[in-house]
Amino acid sequence: MAPRGALLVLALLCESPRRPAAAPGDGQRTWEHFSRLPFPGDKAFLYDTFPEGFMWSVGTAAYQVEGASDKDGKGPSIWDTFTRGGNRIAMGDVGSDSYHNVHGDIRALRQLGVSHYRFSLSWPRIFPNGSRGSCNELGVAHYRSLIRLLKEVGVEPVVTLYHWDLPEQLQRLVGGWRSPLLVGLFQDFADFCFRTFGDGVKYWITIDNPFVVAWHGYGTGMMAPGVKNEPDLPYAVGHNLLKAHAAVWHLYDRRYRPLQGGKVSIALGSHWIKPSKTRRENLRACQCSLDFVLGWFARPLFVDGEYPSCMRGRLSARLPSFDAAEKAYINGTADFFALSHGPSLSFQLRNESLKFGQTEEVDLRMLLYWIKAEYDNPPVFVVESGWFVSGSSRTEDPKHMYYLKWFIVEMLKSIKYDKVRVIGYTAWSLVDGFEWHREYGIRRGLFYVDFATPDMKREPKTSAIFYGKLIEKNGFPPLLENKHADGVFPCDFAWGVAANSIEVETTPSQFADPNVYSWNVAGNGELKRLEGVVAPPAHRVRHCADYAAIRHQVEQIRRVRVSHFHFSLNWSSVAPTGNVSEANATLLDYYRCFASELLKANIAPVVTLWHYTGKRSSLPAPLEAKRGWWCNDTVRAFAEYARLCYRQLGAHVKLWITLNEPNAKELSYEVGHNLLRAHGLAWHVYDKEFREAQGGKVSLTLYMDWVEPAYSFTLRDMVSASRVLDFRVGWFAEPVFGSGDYPSGMRKWLRQRNSMDLFNYHLPVFSREDEQLVRGSYDFFALSHFTTSMVSEAVEDKYIYEAMLEVHYMFDITWVMSSYRRSPVVPWGLRKALSWVSSRYPGVPIYVMANGVDEDPARFQDSLRVYYLHSYINEALKAYLLDGVNLRGYFAYALSDQRDPNFGMYGHVHDEFIVKSSLMHYRNIIEHNGFPEPSAPPQPCPRRSEPCLGCEVLARHSVVGFLSLVGSALLITVGLIVYFAAKRQE
């Protein structure tokens, strides 16, 4: 039976017909190609599976993991010497002791379920002094045993002949890879390995990352053997490495391929780079940067046996050259493209000189596309890929796990979208080990190794469990919960748009100009002001329509087709002294006019009494001077302010928000307690004094971004996420919607933190009176939701670690990110937030009072916001239809960039408002009341009547109405007389 992956490779190698061969430099189109891809659709996560027979692998390198540096006849390597010199601290003498722990590694491989295992042969363990005459049978027996055990558990070996551990004897006697003698010596070593192990090996890697060997081993001195200060030496070393690889490939092709049927390549590593400016010369610089790292070795092998033109042009005589026979000998000596993509040195240049002024970044997908374009789409086997965590971490490594997820899904997009012929993927590495120049400062293993224990115990990390599950499913198969939902919301669903504030114009602009103008009717129609002529003052009643700002804003809102508009009042402007007896009557009149004009347009106003922005207090100055919300006077003053607003505006407002997002800021628990009391007082004022007459509803809006456990299979992360939600949302929700007290988990956690009086995290206690005041003070649950974050107990970055809650915040790197705030776009987070509220407080009516994303205000084709609104509203529909959430309304945030920069559905340029794509898309969703099935009949909802802007005037003023009726009748009569008179003359 053919080994797993063989059929896939054979099919890819034998594909026909082939397109015309790529030309050197074709990779330069990569940046332009990706700049044209649709955003954010191309960045969205791809749920799909890999081709059948895809090779899932994991890898190690001998010096990193084997240990036993001087056991069983092994000779010293250049790394044994290198780590004992200079200022280096640790050595790889023991590593993770895989030499004595083969069975432990085999168990780990079986647990992962990989089809292939990449490992390297230690040249000095087989040939201690580098030559065949020193052959060490114990070393040979070790690798024979390893290959046999792999075969027994169904894992195919991928064997690297040289992974940087050159026998020290060869470095000392001939200068290592600077000497052409190494070509023959390496060929002899390979010949022995092919003959000895080849029957059990179908994939061979001759040399791992020759760029690192040449550039850092014989250039920067960062790696063994540590040679530096010879600027031309790296190019001579690279020349010898290419010749050595070609000699080994030809040896296998001529002598062993007919019998063993294997494939041979060389592992080439590369960074990725993007242009610092969108100019042609920057693209050329990026191309040159890749040519100096990857093209240095790939072009001779995959194109024409010649070095890249950029290298030849810049280096001239410093770069060795191949004669015609050598070019032909080297070209084509790779059966597949083996790509090494790891963080230690592969895609970190560690050197500015090779960036040519451009910006280095991590992007596996673009690198794969560049390889396809530059080298005529060869089959690609990713033979190293992964990330790292700190050396102090243990089995919790969510950061490594999510980088693995990102690399793998980007590789999947390469296959599905870009048609790159990727045949396999190798996660690095199997176990923790010695990490070259970073020693034990980082860990890259999928399995944790306790270096302090004699047996080097292996434990699977979260990344290992993730990788095993992914292999089991062969990718990311589509899940039912990720499928787009078809359906509609109830007929009375509240569709709204929100703004933090409205434009206030306290002086009417209509009929306010006393000047007299002449109208040039015969000419250009312009009005010309008559100098010195002023009309007498007009004695007319002021109307709400006289405010141009109100007319413009209401018209903007009306064009969205929403049924509700949410905005906030300014307490410090309404009652500047804090005393409602000294309220600003003019401003209240303006707010009243704004609300009434909204109603005329069939738009229900939703009004927030107090919105803390964080930039300034927004409290009346005298109250702020008395310590603001720390003081009970502010609580009582807020209740009086609420009473004033209910009295003045309540005839027009049926949905009230007392406090908007009081839990969004880092407030003390004492301040939070007073805010809850203020809300309770304001709610009871309405309930007792205004509800019967006005028939409105009152609640508060809580800020509720979702918090997801970084690793959902880990109980500790699930507990951490629950703890954060208690402190963020439950802090205000539980006293109002639940028990009347703070969450029990919150109190328990703070009691633990306060032990020995080291901290002062004391939650206030609700008196019986306060509990009765706060508990049940709601008519609905209102929340603002924008994004999702993840939490873990594993501490990776102290800057995003919250010590009080003992959680580390992070995000999934595969998530789409907004452009300005780098805020993750995670639609399913809204559904989970809604379900959390519904499960905690069953049956409560829920309104999403603000939901939106930031985007470059210059992008009027705001595709990210279109994607955001569509996806989040669809998740809200799932919560309503599938989860039984009593969702009553949704408000998009925000109306305009002018009032809410970067969030608006209206752009604003030079006093001109521009309708963005997101507004039209949101309006379309509203008009369909969701996402009805294409074949579904129209929803039987009563149609909303179009606003009649003059009807209210006619209804209020009967004389005007009568005269209008008489005038209309007179006009119709005259029209009929004229018509019939004309007919009679005919």
Q: What is the pLDDT of residue 509?
A: 60
CA count, 13 A, side-chain hemisphere, 128: 14
Q: What is the pLDDT of residue 956?
A: 46
**Local structure of residue 294 (DSSP, 8 states):** I
Q: What is the C-alpha to C-alpha distance for residues 297 and 291, in angstroms, rounded to an integer?
A: 9
Q: What is the pLDDT of residue 952?
A: 46
728-752 per-position pLDDT tens digit: 999 999 999 999 999 999 999 998 8
802-837 per-position pLDDT tens digit: 888 889 999 999 999 998 888 999 999 999 999 999
In 930-983, the DSSP E strands lie at: 930-931
Please list the residues that pair with 458 across neighbouring strands. 449
Q: What is the pLDDT of residue 22?
A: 75
Hunting for tokens 């709601």 — which residue is that?
Answer: 778
pTM for the full predicted model: 0.89
Own/partner contacts of 771-776, CB < 8 Å, gap of 24 or more, are 771/735, 771/740, 771/741, 772/740, 773/677, 773/680, 773/681, 773/684, 774/676, 774/677, 774/679, 774/680, 774/735, 774/736, 774/740, 775/735, 775/736, 775/738, 775/739, 775/740, 776/736, 776/740
DSSP, collapsed to helix, strand or coil, labels residue 203 as: strand
Q: What is the pLDDT of residue 352?
A: 85
State the distance between the two ends of the chain, measured CA to CA, in whole angstroms: 101
Q: What is the C-alpha to C-alpha distance for residues 781 and 836, in angstroms, rounded to an integer?
A: 12
Which has the minimum average pLDDT: 158-172, 333-347, 642-656, 683-697?
Answer: 333-347
Q: What is the mean pLDDT of the chain?
A: 90
Task: Give the dihedral sign, CA 656/659/663/664.
Answer: positive
Hunting for tokens 């009375």 — which residue is that?
Answer: 492
CA count, 13 A, side-chain hemisphere, 316: 0
Note whether 680 and 767 are within 8 A (CB). Answer: no
Q: What is the C-alpha to C-alpha distance for residues 116 and 156, in angstroms, rounded to an integer?
A: 5
Please list the residues that pair with 49 across neighbouring strands. 475
> Does the pLDDT of residue 204 top 60, yes or no?
yes
Pure H helices in 422-506: 462-473
Hunting for tokens 């647990």 — which residue is that?
Answer: 111
136 versus 538: which is more confidently predicted?
A: 136
Helix (H) or strand (E) holding 604, with range, is strand 604-611
Q: State how far the alpha carbon of 740 is from the alpha carbons of 25, 762, 773, in Å.
A: 69, 17, 9
544 Ramachandran zone, left/alpha/beta (phi>0; psi -120 to 50): alpha
Q: What is the C-alpha to C-alpha distance for residues 383 and 57, in angstroms, rounded to an integer?
A: 8
> Does the pLDDT of residue 17 top 50, yes or no?
no
Question: Which amino acid would we find at residue 806?
Answer: E
- Cβ-based neighbour number of residue 862 at 10 Å: 23
Note whether 852 and 26 are within 8 A (CB). Answer: no
Helix (H) or strand (E) holding 744, with range, is helix 744-753
> Virtual CA dihedral for 697, 698, 700, 704, nearest 10 degrees?
-10
Q: Using the CB atoms, write b or e for 578-595: b if 16+ within 10 Å.
A: bebeebeeebbebbbbbb
Which residues make Cβ contacts (< 8 Å) with residue 367, sequence separation at least 6? Answer: 270, 272, 339, 341
Q: What is the C-alpha to C-alpha distance for residues 882 and 673, in angstroms, rounded to an integer?
A: 36
Q: What is the pLDDT of residue 88?
A: 73
Hunting for tokens 């009032």 — which residue is that?
Answer: 899
Q: Helices 585-600 and 548-559 sit at what angle, rounded to 10 degrees?
A: 40
529 versus 458: which is more confidently predicted?
A: 458
> Does the pLDDT of residue 756 top 60, yes or no?
no
- Cβ-based neighbour number of residue 120 at 10 Å: 23
> Does the pLDDT of residue 916 top 60, yes or no?
yes
> Does the pLDDT of residue 233 top 60, yes or no?
yes
Own/partner contacts of 178-185, CB < 8 Å, gap of 24 or more, are 178/218, 178/227, 178/233, 178/236, 178/237, 178/240, 179/240, 180/240, 180/243, 182/240, 182/244, 183/240, 183/243, 183/244, 183/247, 184/247, 185/130, 185/131
Q: What is the pLDDT of residue 571?
A: 96
Q: What is the C-alpha to C-alpha distance for residues 850 and 702, in angstroms, rounded to an integer?
A: 10
- Cβ-based neighbour number of residue 453 at 10 Å: 8
Q: Which of 375, 523, 389, 528 is nearest to 446 (CA)?
A: 389
Mean pLDDT for the stretch of residues 355-371:
95
Residue 328, preceding peptide bond in cis (omega within 30° of 0)? no
What's phi and psi for 47, nearest 5 deg? Answer: -95, 105
DSSP, collapsed to helix, strand or coil, labels residue 847 as: strand
% of the chain beyond a pLDDT of 70: 89
Please list the residues that pair with 467 across neighbouring strands. none
| pLDDT band, residue 522 (cuts 50/70/90) | low
Q: What is the C-alpha to C-alpha distance for residues 153 and 105, in angstroms, rounded to an integer?
A: 12
Q: State how far the alpha carbon of 200 is from the alpha carbons of 59, 194, 425, in Å.
A: 17, 10, 20
Q: What is the pLDDT of residue 943?
A: 74
> Does the pLDDT of residue 436 top 80, yes or no?
yes
Q: What is the pLDDT of residue 516?
A: 58
Q: What is the pLDDT of residue 190?
A: 98
Q: What is the C-alpha to C-alpha distance for residues 60 and 79, in angstroms, rounded to an integer?
A: 16
| pLDDT band, residue 801 (cuts 50/70/90) | confident
Mean pLDDT for the stretch of residues 466-485:
95
> Does the pLDDT of residue 963 top 60, yes or no?
yes
Q: What is the pLDDT of residue 278?
A: 85
Chain centroid offset of residue 366 CA: 17
